[in-house]
Amino acid sequence: MRTIRRLLVANRAEIAGRVFRTCRTLGIETVAVYSDADADLPAVGEADVAVRLPGHAPADTYLRADLLLEAARRSGADAIHPGYGFLSENAGFARAVIDAGLTWVGPDPTSIEQMGDKIAAKQLMAAAGVPVLPHHTPQTATEADLPLLVKASAGGGGRGMRIVRALADLSGEIDRASAEAASAFGDGTVFVEPYVERGRHVEVQVLGHAGGVEVYGERDCSLQRRHQKVLEEAPAPRLPEATRAALHQAAARAAAAIDYRGAGTVEFLYDADADRFFFLEMNTRLQVEHPVTEEVFGVDLVAQQIAVAEDRVPEQAGAPQGHAVEVRLYAEDPALDYRPQSGLLTRFEIPGSRGEEEGVRVETGFESGSMVSTHYDAMLAKVVVHASTRRQAARRLAGVLRRARIHGLTTNRDLLVEILTSPQFLDEDVSTAFLVDRTFEQPRPDPAAPVAATLALAEATRLARTVQPRIPVAWRNVASQPQVTEFESGPVAWWGARAGYVVDGLTVLAASPTSVTLEAAGVAATYAVAISGPLGHESVDVDSARGHTRLVRVPRFVDPAAQVKSGSLLAPMPGTVIRVAVEPGARVEAGDTVLVLEAMKMQHTVTAPGPGTITALTVQPGAQVAAGEVLAVVEES
């Protein structure tokens, strides 16, 4: 029997911290590795020792097996846990770890290879009696097969995945998916299968060991955007018990067919209308959404992984208790086609993140003051609630998200709250089309939030004065007109009076730079305010029971150097230029591709806004660009 003394996690952020926590309870020492972009993230300090991987991009750091093995040697680690993503399903890396005399906390490399090639895996599963979807190619696909789905063979998370609704588009989408997969996973192999419009994504958690296969129930992961999961829950709702049992049996057969060892997930596409399911793939690693299974079964899956790696007998799966729902909090803007965001998280506080709320679990790799890099996935945290019923879990999770304080970056928090409170979700009507079929509106802004921001700014100005600090802000003996504070969202008019501030329609009960209490129609509400940024161009975050509002103050005078030429195409986010499709002087039409950016493992196409000529092109492939940087200029005809 092996005993792990010091374990290195070949990963970053949230999953690294998650593994470290289990190691602490088991008395195992820990080693973190970190890129230059991640040097200040909390997980680095949570480990007993840390080793730097010079560079920023995954290809230079977390995807370098040689650097990870050297880090293990230098730190004295005798085991490696891969987490998820990066090299977690790379058989070559697993084999190199074992060949180096280290304990690999994962399945046998042969099992990874068998499931890593998704095309061969489907053939293997079909031979084991597990239902599978047919495979197509551009040569064999017909109109009757549409729509089709192009998928990366070596990875997941929505990268290297495209829906095809016209055969003429199939070859081009295969090329684009292949390029994205090669960038994200180092392998551009893709395959094509039928796309079920309103299917459900149901996956079964298995744990293989010398004595057989344990099944820890199933999860429903149907709510997705860009084929990437947004919400997961266990057990799967509205699933016939006979189908549930059949799914568990099929997953156990799949794991047994490859003599699987360790934690893994067998993913199925469930057609609820026909009550049938098909094998999609097997993830030979720990899943992002594993906490919902842990909460329902009262088990630590990381500890189970370590038990199998140490040749110990893991815990047997018991009966599930209650219901758990997990949401993925992303740094992205749902209103702009889920565009990833990067930059400084000036405040990041989620209730329950320190274990102070029973039934609430927060898994995150960030904290207030953390930088969110463009080099990695945009997920900030997973927030999980376990309750006795599904509705109770959803209701409480929505409340936790509402009370979160997230400043500095746009997130999908409001979208998650709307999902959790929507009648369709609460009625268990979920499918992969959930976010496609519905248009989720942004919550209506609180009209009093700009007033609270204005008064907090006025109070900050008053307290910063070195002369006459007791004189009310903007007070005049004979006031001829109100003061006006201009935000990008609009102006706020107010008066400075001897007794305080006066705002039409509201009574100001209290005001400070961090808190403002306003009363309207006899109802008082307190607003928490946080001010940041340069004087005269401040950003103001306002939180209250009605939600969060971010306001940006418009400066009184505009710097001419900050203006850009009409027709300029600006970088929507920081990233790397991976392709330029035009040359200076080229003629373009509306929607034509000008260039392609890569950020946070996704490719983003910058297109011409209208017909015209490329009069300037300021970047080339490989260039690093900042958000708002001019990439090209299209001069209208």
Cα distance from N-terminal residue to C-terminal residue, the chain:
75
Q: Which residues contact 555 (CB under 8 A, 6 or more apart)?
A: 536, 537
What is the pLDDT at residue 80?
Answer: 98
Is 372:343 a contact under the CB 8 Å cutoff? yes
Cβ atoms within 10 A of the Cβ of 321, count? 12
β-pair partners for 503: 506
Residue-wise pLDDT tens digits, 138-192: 878 888 778 888 887 666 656 777 888 888 888 888 888 888 777 766 778 888 8
In angstroms, the CA 253 to CA 513 distance is: 62
Q: Which residue has the tokens 């588009």?
A: 169
Please, what's the b/e burial string for 144-158 (b: 16 or more CB within 10 A of its CB; e: otherwise)? ebeebbbbbbbbbbb
What is the pLDDT at residue 154?
Answer: 66
Q: Which amino acid is at 451?
A: V
What is the pLDDT at residue 184?
Answer: 67
Task: Report the alpha-carbon angle 410-519-402, nearest 5.
Answer: 30
Q: Which helix (H) or strand (E) holds 520?
A: strand 515-520
β-pair partners for 552: 539
What is the pLDDT at residue 162?
Answer: 85
Is 346:318 a contact under the CB 8 Å cutoff? no
The 3-class secondary structure across 315-375, one letter per residue, is: CCCCCCCCEEEEEEEECEEHHHCCEECCEECCEEECCCCCCCCCCEEEEECCCCCCEECCC
Is 222:430 a contact under the CB 8 Å cutoff? yes
What is the pLDDT at residue 179?
Answer: 82
Q: All domains of the chain, ordered by start, with CATH?
A: 6-105 (3.40.50.20), 130-194 (3.30.1490.20), 322-443 (3.30.470.20), 449-552 (no CATH), 560-636 (2.40.50.100)
Burial (CB count within 10 angstroms: exposed 0-12, middle 13-18, buried 19+), residue 478: exposed
pLDDT at 626 over 80: no
* pLDDT-wise least confident of 82-96, 146-160, 231-245, 347-361: 146-160
Residue-wise pLDDT tens digits, 513-566: 999 999 999 999 999 999 998 887 899 999 999 899 999 999 876 655 556 677
The tokens describing 90, both together, are 């790379």
Residue-wise pLDDT tens digits, 291-347: 999 999 999 999 999 999 999 988 888 899 999 999 999 999 998 888 889 999 999
Residue-wise pLDDT tens digits, 47-94: 999 999 999 999 999 999 999 999 999 999 999 999 999 999 999 999
Q: 601 pLDDT band (50/70/90 cuts)?
A: low
For 603-611, the CB contacts below 8 A with 24+ separation are 603/176, 603/179, 603/180, 603/183, 603/578, 604/339, 604/572, 604/573, 604/575, 606/569, 606/571, 606/572, 606/631, 606/632, 608/569, 608/634, 609/567, 609/569, 609/634, 610/634, 610/636, 611/587, 611/636, 611/637
Mean pLDDT value across the chain:
91
Q: What percent of the chain has pLDDT over 90?
A: 63
Residue 125: CA count within 13 A, CB half-sphere: 28
pLDDT at 581 over 80: yes
Give me the mean pLDDT over the 455-482 stretch.
81
Q: How long, in residues, is the chain?
A: 637
Residue-wise pLDDT tens digits, 429-463: 999 999 987 777 667 789 999 999 999 999 998 88
- DSSP secondary structure letters along 375-408: SS--EEEEEEEEESSHHHHHHHHHHHHHH-EEES
What is the pLDDT at residue 138?
Answer: 80
β-pair partners for 383: 327, 362
Q: Is 474 left (phi over 0), alpha (psi -120 to 50) or beta?
A: left
Nearest to 411 by CA among 381, 433, 385: 381
Q: Which amino acid is at 329?
A: L
What is the pLDDT at residue 417?
Answer: 96
pLDDT at 266 over 90: yes
The model's pTM: 0.86
Is 205:249 a contact under the CB 8 Å cutoff? no
Task: Report the alpha-carbon angle 334-339-343, nearest 5.
Answer: 110
What is the pLDDT at residue 315?
Answer: 84
Q: Could you tell me the sign of the dihedral formed by the alpha carbons of 68, 72, 73, 79, in that order?
A: negative
What is the pLDDT at residue 636?
Answer: 84
Q: Given the DSSP bridges, would you call strands 79-81 and 103-104 parallel, antiparallel or unpaired?
A: parallel
The tokens describing 298, both together, are 């009262």
pLDDT at 108 over 80: yes
Is 125:132 a contact under the CB 8 Å cutoff? yes
